[in-house]
Amino acid sequence: MTKKDYMKLHDEQLQEMRTKLENSKVAQMLEIKAISSAKIETLQLEIEAIIHPHRVMNDFNYRTGNIMGIIRTISLNSKHRKELLEVTGLNNSQVSLYYPIIGNTPFVNNQNQLVRGQVMKADEAREYITMCALSMGIVVDESDLYDITQERCQMIYDTKLQEAFETIKNTAEVSEDTPEEYEE
């Protein structure tokens, strides 16, 4: 066989593989994810056009982080809330549940006070993200939610709490002010 014959055989085998995989479950899953990812990107661009010059936030993995970022952005934007709800298909009730379910990591406010925030409720968060994604026309499956576990949420919270303490300590060393803890 010549190199040309091998190339032809190679191309035939590739085409055979494509044909077998075109209707496979994995190919269907990939296509659905691609459609939903395009929907997320479109929503982000539409939201950013409304809230310009600000951007949509995100956390966790790519897809769920972007979904959470869309909801969080809406929850923090009262000026354009109505327009953002119309664009996404979400409603005020859904958006108002963001912080009670998703929580907020600890941080230091402008007065050098610790705001403790709240640990994410992982089981509720997965359900909440799925419900909101459905309202936005985005398909979410278990592979999108795998990294939202209570252990990981607690680890992230603890890390951010330690970082906040370090920030207060470093700021206090520089300014010699005694930091206070702020309770919400």
Distance of alpha carbon 6 from its chain centroid, rounded? Answer: 47
pLDDT of 180 > 80? The answer is no
pLDDT of 176 > 60? The answer is no
Confidence bin at 158 (pLDDT 50/70/90): very high
Tokens of 172: 């206090």
pLDDT of 46 > 90? The answer is yes
Pure H helices in the chain: 3-22, 25-51, 62-75, 81-88, 92-96, 98-102, 122-136, 142-145, 150-175
Percent of the chain with pLDDT over 70: 92
Q: Report pLDDT for 1.
A: 81
Q: Report pLDDT for 172.
A: 73
DSSP, collapsed to helix, strand or coil, labels residue 181 as: strand
Q: Report pLDDT for 59.
A: 65
Q: Report pLDDT for 174.
A: 66
pLDDT of 181 > 80? The answer is no
pLDDT tens, 47-102? 999 999 988 987 666 889 999 999 999 999 999 999 999 999 999 999 999 999 99
